[in-house]
Structures are given as structure tokens and as C-alpha cells.
Amino acid sequence: MKIAFYSYKSYDKEWFNRCNEDFGYEFKYFRVQLDEETVDYSKGCDAVCVFVNDKLNREIIEKLAANGIKLIALRCAGFNNVDLEAAQEFGIDVRRVPAYSPEAVAEHAVALILTLNRKIHRAYNRVRDGNFSLSRLTGFNLHGKTVGVVGTGKIGMIFANIMKGFGCEILMYDKFPNKKFEKDGMRYVDLTELLQKSDIVSLHTPLLPETSHMMNQYTFGLMKEGAMLINTSRGGLINTQAAIDALKTGQLGYLAIDVYEMEEGLFFHNHSEKIITDDTISRLLAFPNVLITSHQAFFTVEALNQISLVTLTNIKEHQEGVISPNQVKI
């Protein structure tokens, strides 16, 4: 079976080649993302392996089908970039990696909180320059603070339990709450109460039409003044301009993001010798109380191994006609 592998990075090739020793598939690796100009690279292949910023709209899916593609193998959990209706119409199976390492993402969210709160990044740069001053490096104790967890899937609950270990009170919001998660110091509330009472809010919900820009001018106004917002889920959950406005007024005290709604073409690439033309991300980078990592939360040895293994297993099960919970349907 031949697979056109789009948007690959060196670590993708390393881990997929390693895991593929047990499967024996033929990969055609392309550094470019899947879009209107590169869709025909898939000719002669049976499947495409894609990531979060590859484009899979109706037009591209129709061309994939014409090229003989029968499977879209997502090496990620999110599938908001796939036109599922078109995939079904053209008979293309869609499979994803629903949970490759929830601990990795949850732990990165905690790392963002600790770094931003205790200003570790700023202290590190100071000390390297020979500046050992503690001025303006004051943080706050996490113990006793209220942490709001928006989305209580696997990642959200792992994050909640970690923060409970710090001695935090945990407020949870989910459209479909699971009451078995409620225990001492952890309870479900509505989103308004969560935003009003939380010192830290962490987003762990998928990007869907109803969650797009869920953090906007109105919801920022509901937050406790000076609170911290963390996003390791999907960039489109936050209206970035509204976040900038809230930062400027002090309504939002801290912002840490590992995802960005306009990250396509920016994240996963080295722009250090180029002019960044995105004025919005440039404005965010100018705030001393903003911390940005570039879609790094998943990036652990355990996660890379699991992504490769599950993706290749999805391909094998597609070949064998196995119905899997990893299939994505309308």
C-alpha cells in the first residue's frame, strides 16, 4: 500500500519509518502541505497521511477520490480541517488518532502556567546575561487558587487532577458533564460561573462551530479581572483580537497559548531570518504577560511513538475492513 505523507517534519519521518518496520507500507514523503496545488502528488497512492494544517475541503477531497485515494489517515486528534460530508460522498474513509498522549498535552498546560506565573522564561534570560535581580519576577502560589477546566475529556481530566494535586479548587465545564469525575474539590458548574470564579482558565475542548471563538469580548468580560487563560487545544477557541483588547485593559492578566487561530504557515517553521508579517502574533509577542509555544504540547517521545503506531494500525485496519472507533463520520 502506498501512502502520500504530507507536511512531514524530520521527527515524523524518523518515527514513522521506525514503526513501519512492522507494517511494510510504502511512504512518499512531501514537506509541503496538502492543498489545491499539491493534491496531485497523491496520484498512484492509496491513502494520504495528513496533519492539522493540511487542507481537506470538498474540492480537494473530490480530487483525492479521482486520484484513487480511499483513506485519509489523520496523524492527529482534531478533524475540523476535513469536510466529512464530502469524504462520505466520495467514499473516502477518515481515521484519526484520538488520544496519543493526553498526559503530554496536560503536562504542557501545567508547564505554561508555572512558566508564565513564576516568569521562568524571563528569569532564564536574565541570568544568562549576568542579571541576578529578582525585580518584577513576583509570582503567586497555585495552592488555594481556583482553576477552571473547560472540556473534561481525557486531557482535561488529567490536567484537572494535576492541578488538584497543587491544592487548587477545580471548577469544570463540559456540554456533556460526566458526574463520576466530581469529587472533593472538583465540581461541574456552568461556563459563566467558571469564568467568574476562576483564577486560571484552561481550554481543553475541541474546535466545533459552537466552540469557535468561545473566548470573545463578552466571555473575557465575565472573567475575574487579572485571571490567566491557557489554551493547548485549538487556536480558534479564542478570538485573538478580543484577547489583545482584554490584555491591554488588564481584564486578562496572563495569556499562554500553544495554538493560534492563524498558525497555518507560521507554526512548525523557522522564521528567525524573515519578517513576520502577521501583525496579530507580533502584537501578542510584545506583551510581557503572554507566553507562546508553537503547537509543542504533544511533542514527547511517548506521543510520537503512539501517533505513528496508531496511524499505521488505522491504515492496516482500513485495509482489512475493520470497523474502528478511530473512524470519523458525520
pLDDT profile of the chain (330 residues), mean per 10: 96 96 97 96 98 94 98 92 96 93 95 98 96 96 98 95 97 93 92 98 94 98 98 96 98 97 87 90 96 95 95 97 94
Residue 328 included in any domain: no
Q: Return the C-alpha cell found at 281.
A: 502574533
pLDDT of residue 53: 86
pLDDT of residue 111: 98
pLDDT of residue 265: 83
Residues 84 and 179 in one domain: no
Residues 126 and 200 in one domain: yes
Q: Which of 295, 302, 317, 320 is catalytic?
A: 295
Per the CB < 8 A criterion, the answer to whether 37 and 58 are in contact is: no
Per the structure, the count of domains in the chain is 2
Per the CB < 8 A criterion, the answer to whether 221 and 195 are in contact is: no
Residue ranges in 90-237 assigned as alpha helix (H): 102-118, 120-128, 154-165, 191-197, 217-222
Residues 226 and 151 in one domain: yes
pLDDT of residue 6: 98
pLDDT of residue 185: 87
Q: Which of 107, 169, 261, 263 is catalytic?
A: 263
Rounded to an integer, what distance in angstroms lies between the CA atom of residue 206 and that of residue 328?
Answer: 14
pLDDT of residue 34: 97
Per the CB < 8 A criterion, the answer to whether 261 and 238 are in contact is: yes
pLDDT of residue 168: 97
Strands 26-29 and 252-257: unpaired
Residue numbers of the domain that contains 39 = 2-100+301-320
Q: Which of 75, 95, 234, 318 is catalytic?
A: 234
85's CB contacts (< 8 A; 6+ apart) are 58, 330
pLDDT of residue 196: 98
pLDDT of residue 37: 96
pLDDT of residue 179: 87
pLDDT of residue 28: 97
Please state, in angstroms and as integers, the Cα–Cα distance from residue 277 to each residue in 255, 266, 280, following that order. 22, 10, 9
Residues 139 and 173 in one domain: yes
Q: Which residues of 78-102 are buried (b: 16+ CB within 10 A; e: fewer)?
A: bbebbbbebbeebebbbbbbbbbbb
pLDDT of residue 180: 87
pLDDT of residue 304: 95
Residue 263 included in any domain: yes
Q: What CATH number is associated with residue 110?
A: 3.40.50.720
Asked if 234 is an active-site residue, the reply is yes
**pTM exceeding 0.85:** yes
